[in-house]
Each structure stands twice: as structure tokens, then as C-alpha cells.
Structure 1
Amino acid sequence: MSVLGIDQITYGTDDLALSRRFFQDWGLTLAHESADTLVFTCLNGCRVVVAAMDHPGLPPAIEPGPTLREVVWGVERAEDLARYADAIRHDPGFVDTEVDGARRIGCTDPNGLAVRLQVTRKRDIALQSAAMNTWSDKPRINQPSPVYERATPIEVGHVVFFAADVPACEAFYASRFGFVSSDRYPGRGAFMRCAPSGGHHDLFLLQLPSGKRGINHVAFTVRDIHEVFGGGLHFSRCGWETQLGPGRHPVSSAYFWYFKNPAGGLIEYYADEDQLTADWQPREFEPGPTVFAEWAVDGGLDGHTRRQKGVDAGGKFLTEKK
């Protein structure tokens, strides 16, 4: 029994129209729209809900302004859900309800965030991704790597929060839901994955000296490094502002590109993270710029650099001098 991953996230926003354009440009599908709620889906059925900040059904916010209000984690079977319900029944904010005809349980974590679980609604999908030719392994034969005009995210891969007490939150997710710690900034940060075998992290908790609580970023998984670049370039051409990227994380090995999100915090495209098993031993790191990013482009790429879409090159090479 283990949590499978993130099934749904819910934002509270003060500008639904702006959020509608933002998440559609990001590559999500608008599945439902009402006067105060937007529901988007990723390729595998993972959902992103954006609701007006005064929506009566939203859980309390852990910080002022637009932010993430709720994370719904998926489990495999109803029997798993029943076991987790027993584990959290006496925790603050315990709920056991029905949403869209299915059982959903939850509570409030030590950081004040609404945490929910349900039998997963995500589906398995088969996608073709780029194979990477290296000196020792060349699986891509007679086939060019793809060029993506934009990204179509597969799912919400992980969430990152500023927490007032990282050790308390880390202990909560380990004891209640069986999360496993992958790596740590001792006393100040914890990378956690849902199960012993899986991607480097599904949840990352950061503790600032100020004790601030809130969302840092939500990360969306894409197929490969080429989709990170293609998605980021398209998003830049749409006029959205880069916070940092593209770049590469040395801790998880993932390639990333972060943008500012009007619904709260930052948003990330990422690909090629480390895959871990129960044999992995958590490492400890001292926070610093080179630990966060081996390399990164500050301010991003403008989306038109070098490609110059719509420009007639007159049959000349880009490097050809006048």
C-alpha cells in the first residue's frame, strides 16, 4: 500500500480570466468552466482546479493572496483509502466525504495545508519520448529527436512548500502516508517521494528563517528535455515571465524551466529526474546556488532567439555574414 502520486491540486485566485489564459497557454485542457471555477486536465487525467478566492468550498489558505489551497493524492484501491482514513482519523481537520461520486478523505498537515486522498482517477498512457544517444549507449537509430512547438504536460509531478517546521511535516507525511525521504537540507529542507521506488521527489519542504508558510512552486512533468525547451519557448512567446531557466538541478538531475504563476507561486516544466529505489541512501546538502542549479539561464529565453519564426532567411545559413 502506497500513495501513487498527485491526483489533483486546487488554487484560489483573484483573477479567473487571467488564470484561464495562463493554464491553457501552459498546455492544459480546459475540461469544465463555471462562474467561479475552472477545471483543467493533464494528459493522464491529473486535474488542476482554479477557483475564485471567495469560493465557499475552498479550504483555508496558508498565506495571503492567490495560492495553492489543496493537494489531493491518489491511491490504488478503496481498501487503501480505508487504511489511510484510520491513520489520519484523529488529525486536525479530518474529513470523510464524497466528491463527484467518489470517496475522498483528508486532514490538515502541520503546515496548515489541506491534504486529501482518493482512489486515483489518473490513467496509464503510452507516450513516445526522445531517446538520448550517449557515447556508451545509442538507442536512437535513423530517427531525429523531436522538436516541440509547445508542451502538453503529462501530470503534476511534485509540489514544493515553504513550511514553518520541516521536521514536523516530514514526520507527518512519513508516519501517515508512508512517504520516504530522498535527500535533505538538515533541519531546513526535505525531498520526499510517495514510495520507496519512484521519482526523486513528489513533495519538497523548505524552511526559511522567517518561518514563512506558502507555495513555492508546482512542477509539471513533460516527456523529455526537448519538451522542457519547446514548452518554455512557447510560453515565453505567449508573454509569460520566466523566473529562472532553463537549467539543470544537480540534486535530482532534472532539467527545469520556472515561470511566475498568477494563481500563486511559481510553475515548472521538468524532465529526466532521478529514479530511486529502497536501496537509495538520503544525502545531506548545504543550501546554495550551485546546489540548486548546476547551470541556469537567468531571465529565460525570449522564445524567438535563433528560430526567428516568420522571418524569411532567403535561403541563407544563420551564421552567414552579410
Structure 2
Amino acid sequence: MNIIGLQYLVFGVDDVGACRQYMLDYGLSAVGDGSRLEALDGTAVVILDKADPALPPSMGTASTLRETVYAVADEQALLAIEQELRTDRDVTRGSDGVLRCVDDMGFALGFQIAERRPIGIGAEAINAPGDIAGRQVNQLGAYKDMPALPRSLSHVVYFVPDSAKAEAFYARLGFICTDRFQELGPFLRPAGSHDHHCLFLIQTPAFMKGIEHFTFHMGGPTEVMMAGTRFVEKGYTSFWGPGRHQLGSNWFWYFNSPLGCHVEYDADMDQHDDSWVAREVNISADSSQYFLFEHREKWAPGGDPH
């Protein structure tokens, strides 16, 4: 089934103003009435008041995520998903064209024909001895006011009480396990994407069920560092990073948020096809990242090193 990846996430929150401002400061752009906040390619986060009648029901936990909507390639893919899901659950199609159901863990899902804009911006370029120069002579690799905006909704991470059962549901829809943390959960890639994962499942007690974090792709590690630094300077609190993951190889920087979950910047994720053999590793600090930095106030030579 040709699922390309995430199209948008929907949240129902206590403080709509604070959450929308957070995502604006993160780098998204508000459209329409301001409830939808988009990355450069049109993938988005939708933030509504938790009592809004348009929202799917809460899962009954602390999670504020109300719906995850995936992009599919075409109407044929949408019909294939509908046919599969109707075998054992209720499925509806809204006036917005979104096919909706609930997965085996209670997460509200949607599927729609992709509405992604071409970005048309080059990736971060580097110069390295032994290779052709990535940047032209006198072209700067970084500068103070360089753009560092989220490009595309990358992945979402769920806390689930039964990761095996959850994985089996998504396998029905063509998701493939690219790597796995033993006794924790799988990284899942939809068939229509080469990204290492757009969904990661983490085994937790039932009372924790919900979203752990979501992230948007940036144009490279410098953009992750630049956007994250600007975010800190706006007063937001770093949770984990910056650093680089082992499984997926993506650069990361996570932040606390008023949405009740973490929000990440990421860049340079591995790409895989069906010939890739999934790895299984024990979860630990050593297997979670290759290296980890910690943000501190800026410093200059000659200043107090402490």
C-alpha cells in the first residue's frame, strides 16, 4: 500500500495560544485561521482546543494527540487501505477526503491523497578533502541569518501497551520494520518512502499510551544546530541533544513543549529499500546515539572557560 509518510498531526490542548506560538517559534507557518501550522512542503500540525467537537475522542490518558493523518500516493492506494481496514473495523470518509479509522491501540488515524508542495531548496552542502567541493568558492557554509526552517513532517513516536500487536496492525498497511530495539519496539517505514522510519513504537504501561514526540526534517545538521540554538534563545528548554542517533543516523535535538510531548528537529536520516535487513539491538545510552552534545551559553577565546 503506497503510504508516503505523515501529512499532519492533530492535537487537542489546554492552552491553544501557547501551543500555536510554540510551533511558530519552532519555525512553522500559520495558515487559514491559524490552527494549522505548516512546514515548507505543506505537512503540518493542527492545534485545537481540547473541547473542540471536531476532534476525535481523547484516548483517556495525558496524551494530547487526537489524530495522525498519513499521505498516500493516489486514489488507488486509498481504496486499497479502505478495503483492508473494512475487514475488521469501522471506516469513514469525511467531506475533506480523509479516510478515518482507529488502530488497534486506540489511536485515531486518517489517510488522504498527498498534498505536499515541492520544496526546491538544496540540502546542506559540505566541502571535504578527497571529494568535489560542495559549495562554490566564497560561498559561506553558515551565516548568522541563514534560513533554518522545518521542511517536512518526519516521524511520530507512540507509547503503546502492546508493541507487537501495534506493529502487526501497521504491517497490514505495508509498514516495514527497518530496525528494532529489543523489548522496546520497532522503527517502521511505510512502503511509499525510503526514510528509515516515520513511526516508532515504544512499549510502555497502558496509562502512558500516547505520543512521545514528533519531528520535522531540516536541511542538514547545521540547520538543526541553528534552529535549536534560536529556539533556546527564545526561552524554550532543551530536553535531549543535539546529537546523532545510531539507528537511522539522523541528527537530533529534542525540546520540551506545552503540547504534552517532546518536539524534535532532525536531519540526514538513512534511506532504505526492501533489501535492507533490520538490526536488533538492546536499548541503552550507547546504542541510542553515537554522540551527544549539551547546549551552553556562547563563549569566545579569551573568556572564562567555565
Q: How does 1:1-40 map to 2 (within 5 A)?
A: 1-33=1-33, 38-40=35-37
Aligned residue identity for 2:301: T
Q: CA separation in 2, counterparts of 1:85 and 1:121?
A: 19
Q: How does 1:150-299 map to 2 (within 5 A)?
A: 151-175=148-172, 177-195=173-191, 198-208=194-204, 212-297=208-293
How large is the RMSD of aligned CA atoms in angstroms?
2.0
Q: What are the Cα deviations for residues 106-131 of structure 1, in whole angstroms up to 9, with x where unaligned?
A: 21111110011001111222112222
Q: CA separation in 1, counterparts of 2:144 and 2:242?
A: 15
Partner of 2:116: 122
2:63–2:209: 8 Å Cα contact kept in structure 1? Answer: no
Q: What are the Cα deviations for residues 30-49 of structure 1, in whole angstroms up to 9, with x where unaligned?
A: 11227xxx111110011210
| 3-state SS in 1 of match to 2:22 | helix
Q: CA separation in 2, counterparts of 1:137 and 1:106?
A: 48
Aligned residue identity for 2:70: W
Q: CA separation in 2, counterparts of 1:178 and 1:136?
A: 40
Deviation for aligned residue 1:66:
5.3
Aligned residue identity for 1:64: T
Deviation for aligned residue 1:200:
0.7
Q: CA separation in 2, counterparts of 1:197 and 1:188?
A: 23
- Deviation above 6 Å: which 4+ runs of structure 1? none
Q: CA separation in 2, counterparts of 1:186 and 1:78?
A: 37
Q: How does 1:51-130 map to 2 (within 5 A)?
A: 51-65=48-62, 67-99=64-96, 103-130=97-124
Q: CA separation in 2, counterparts of 1:46 and 1:260?
A: 21
Deviation for aligned residue 1:301:
2.0
Deviation for aligned residue 1:321:
6.7
2:218–2:267: 8 Å Cα contact kept in structure 1? Answer: yes
Q: CA separation in 2, counterparts of 1:286 and 1:209?
A: 19
Deviation for aligned residue 1:274:
0.8
Aligned residue identity for 2:119: I
Q: CA separation in 2, counterparts of 1:20 and 1:12?
A: 11
| 3-state SS in 1 of match to 2:69 | strand
Pairs aligned (count)? 301
Partner of 1:313: none
| 3-state SS in 1 of match to 2:178 | strand
Aligned residue identity for 1:129: A
Q: CA separation in 1, counterparts of 2:131 and 2:195?
A: 22
Aligned residue identity for 2:194: G
Q: CA separation in 1, counterparts of 2:86 and 2:143?
A: 49
Which ranges of structure 1 fall in alignment gaps of 5 or more residues? 307-317
Q: CA separation in 2, counterparts of 1:78 and 1:210?
A: 35
Deviation for aligned residue 1:158:
0.3
| 3-state SS in 1 of match to 2:208 | coil
Structure 1 residues 211 and 13: CA distance shift in structure 2, 3 A: closer
Q: CA separation in 1, counterparts of 2:91 and 2:197?
A: 25
1:166–1:187: 8 Å Cα contact kept in structure 2? Answer: no
> How many percent of aligned residue pairs carry the same amino acid?
32
1:258–1:267: 8 Å Cα contact kept in structure 2? Answer: yes
Q: CA separation in 2, counterparts of 1:321 and 1:160?
A: 41
| 3-state SS in 1 of match to 2:212 | strand
| 3-state SS in 1 of match to 2:25 | helix
Q: CA separation in 1, counterparts of 2:129 and 2:251?
A: 20
Partner of 1:305: 298
Deviation for aligned residue 1:193:
0.6
Q: CA separation in 2, counterparts of 1:210 and 1:4?
A: 29
Which ranges of structure 2 fall in alignment gaps of 5 or more residues? none
Q: TM-score, normalised by structure 1?
A: 0.88
| 3-state SS in 2 of match to 1:44 | coil
